[in-house]
Amino acid sequence: MNRARLIALIHAGARALGMDEATRRDWIEKHTGKRSCKDCSEADLSRLGDDLRANGFQPGPATKAPGGNGPGRPTKAQWGLIAKLAKQKGMTGLDDAGLATLAKKVCKVDSLRFLDQHGARALILALERWIAWGKAHPEKAGKAAK
């Protein structure tokens, strides 16, 4: 892995584990004696990445928005929010079959890649309402999941 990717991995991992910038710099200094990834050797960066993985960080594959990025397509923020809400509902992310089924019912599209911005808004709203309903009716939400 090249140096820039290692640094990006360390920053993402530290963020995922709840470290702010000061905490991350302290952690880097504790393990390498340097306060910045920029000052670390590739071996240091690799060890930091290994330590993040040992502490539970699981870097996922970079996901590309299913529908491209042309005019009228959902924004990156919309895709990110859809993925976040889907994970709150226990789905695996944008590639989950349950999310595709929900999009088919709510947005009348055969696949997420056919969503437009209006459809993305409708899907986000449906997921938010589904999550809110589950919180308001925990006894029924548990039965529906079984």
Task: Give the residue numbers spanning the domain of 141.
Answer: 76-145
- Residues 81 and 128 grouped into a single domain: yes
- Residues 6+ positions from 64 with CB-CB distance below 8 Å: none
What's the whole-number mean pLDDT along residues 69-77?
A: 85
**pLDDT > 80? residue 121:** yes
Q: What is the C-alpha R_g of the chain?
A: 20
Per-residue pLDDT tens digits for 39-54: 999 999 999 999 988 8
Residue 114 lies in a domain: yes
Task: Label residues 48-87 b or e (16+ Cβ within 10 Å = b).
Answer: bbeebeeeebeeeeeeebbbeeeeebbeeebbebbbebbe
- Residues 134 and 98 grouped into a single domain: yes
Rounded to an integer, what distance in angstroms lies between the CA atom of residue 15 and that of residue 13? Answer: 5
Query: How much of the chain, in percent, has pLDDT values that exceed 70?
Result: 89
What's the whole-number mean pLDDT along residues 79-83?
A: 91
What is the pLDDT confidence band of residue 120, given thresholds at 50, 70 and 90?
Answer: very high
Could you tell me the pTM of the whole model? 0.56
Residue 116 lies in a domain: yes
Residue 64 lies in a domain: no
What's the whole-number mean pLDDT along residues 54-63?
A: 74
**pLDDT > 50? residue 146:** no
Please count the structural domains in the chain. Answer: 2
**pLDDT > 70? residue 26:** yes
- Residues 42 and 80 grouped into a single domain: no
pLDDT at residue 104 in the model: 95
Query: Where are the alpha helices (H) located in the chain, listed in sequence order?
Result: 3-16, 21-32, 42-54, 76-88, 97-107, 117-136, 138-145
Residue 96 lies in a domain: yes
Residue among 88, 11, 128, 48 nearest 120 (CA):
128
